[in-house]
Amino acid sequence: MKILPDIQNPNFQRLLWPLAALAGILLFNLFFTPGFFEIEIKDGHFFGSLIDIINRAAPVMLLAIGMTLVFATGGIDLSVGAVMAISGAVAATVIRPDYVKGVLEYGEIQPLYLVIGIPLALSVLCGLWNGILVAFVGIQPIIATLILMVAGRGIAQLITQGQIVVFIHEPFQYIGSGFFLGFPFPIVMVVLIFILTYLLTRKTGLGLFIEAIGANAVASRFMGVREKQIKLAVYMFSGLCAGIAGLVVCADIKAADANNAGLFLELDAIAAVIIGGTLWGGRFTLLGSIIGTLIIQSLTTTILTRGIAPEVTLVFKAVVIIAVALIQSEKFRNVFSVMVASRRTKA
């Protein structure tokens, strides 16, 4: 077993830039934000800025894991935010089925497997819908998933009748705000899903097929790779990840807010995947997407602690994404290297 990462390994090289960016932000905080790296233990739970960053980033990390695979096949899933809203709305409705009719009594307490199982099943169904449109009907991914992005939030609002459904359900709340071995449960969940996805893609043929399809669909088809089925599976998985993220958010705030749950998180997830170094069609790196999410979230937290309005992070996100996209653009690199060369000859 190798312990040190292989520096020549292209997989590691891909992570170099995102890691450097993350290190830069953390370094900045080391000097300018007192107590940034402190981690306290209260009642056996860990607390601190770092833990907080990861915990807040958990939903986007979940989305980014699903989005990474979709991206690698050369697709995109715009509907994940809406699916989050649907998932949360369904979970709350399972807990308080008559709330929207004005009945405040809980009725019988629903078992946890129903509270989790029904929303997740529906989320996978949403992914199935996207997958069918992309793989079997042949609509471009950005358009196919746009439909659910528009209609999905409406469906979520329909389920909650536009109300914010508040609830109390101890076991379910644990998903959002519980602690496991001292860590917030969402973090534990992300780690679990990450490991599971890693095993699923890298320890089976799936990851290779996904990359093959994304990099060269024609050649993959000629080799008998089941392009359609794999695309379908990837969109279903993205739906599942979105569903889990929706549950985390919903359980954390103990309410389903169909208007705002997951709003614009699809953009954060896309940004994280791009920053993390996954190509649009081809090689993907799950770890990169996680790092990408951490970059965005630590940036947000840093800005918050600086006393700047958090909304301004949007400007930073914009700059980072365009910078990464330009570095990946062959045209830009050509123009850039020509510029550097001409400057050198002048000097």
In the region spanning residues 239 to 298, those forming contacts with another protein, defined by CB under 8 A, are: 258, 263-264, 267, 270-271, 274, 279-280, 282-283
Whether 251 contacts 172, CB under 8 Å: yes
For the record, the structure tokens of 159 come out as 């389920």
Q: Which residue from 2, 309, 343, 347 is in contact with another protein, where contact means CB under 8 A? A: 309
* Upper half-sphere CA count for residue 132 (Cβ side, 13 Å): 8
Q: Segment contacting another protein (CB under 8 A): 42-50, 119-127, 222-230, 249-257?
A: 222-230
Q: How far is the CB of 197 from another protein (least distance, A)?
A: 14
Encoded one letter per residue, x for contact with another protein by CB under 8 A and - for no contact, window 112-141 reads -------------------------xxxx-
Of 254, 278, 177, 210, which is closest to residue 73 (Cα–Cα)?
A: 210
Cβ proximity to another protein: between 77 and 175 the closer is 77
CA atoms of 164 and 99, how far apart (whole Å): 10
Q: Is 208 in the site for another protein (CB under 8 A)?
A: yes
Cβ proximity to another protein: between 92 and 155 the closer is 155
For 125, other C-beta atoms within 10 Å of its C-beta total 15
Q: How far is the CB of 42 from another protein (least distance, A)?
A: 33
Q: Is 195 in the site for another protein (CB under 8 A)?
A: no
Cβ proximity to another protein: between 41 and 208 the closer is 208
CA atoms of 261 and 246, how far apart (whole Å): 7
Q: How far is the CB of 159 from another protein (least distance, A)?
A: 9
Q: Which residue from 30, 121, 143, 338 is in contact with another protein, where contact means CB under 8 A? A: 143
Binders of another protein in range 8-67 (CB under 8 A) = 10
* DSSP-assigned letters across all residues of 99-158: GGGT-----SPPPHHHHHHHHHHHHHHHHHHHHIIIIII---HHHHHHHHHHHHHHHHHH
Q: Which residue from 30, 326, 339, 340 is in contact with another protein, where contact means CB under 8 A? A: 326
Residue with tokens 């370094």: 27
Q: Segment contacting another protein (CB under 8 A): 109-117, 185-193, 210-218, 247-255?
A: 210-218
Q: How far is the CB of 84 from another protein (least distance, A)?
A: 15
Residues touching another protein, count (CB under 8 A):
74
Cβ proximity to another protein: between 114 and 335 the closer is 335
3-state secondary structure of 46: strand
* Residue partners of 10: CB distance under 8 A and separation at least 6: none
Q: Is 203 in the site for another protein (CB under 8 A)?
A: yes
Whether 99 contacts 170, CB under 8 Å: no
Of 307, 283, 345, which is closest to residue 14 (Cα–Cα)?
A: 283
Distance, first Cα to last Cα, the chain: 50
Q: Which residue from 44, 102, 224, 307 is in contact with another protein, where contact means CB under 8 A? A: 224
Cβ proximity to another protein: between 41 and 326 the closer is 326
Binders of another protein in range 155-184 (CB under 8 A) = 155-158, 161-162
Q: Which residue from 23, 114, 121, 322 is in contact with another protein, where contact means CB under 8 A? A: 322
Beta strands in the chain (DSSP E): 40-42, 45-47, 164-166, 179-180, 183-184, 255-257
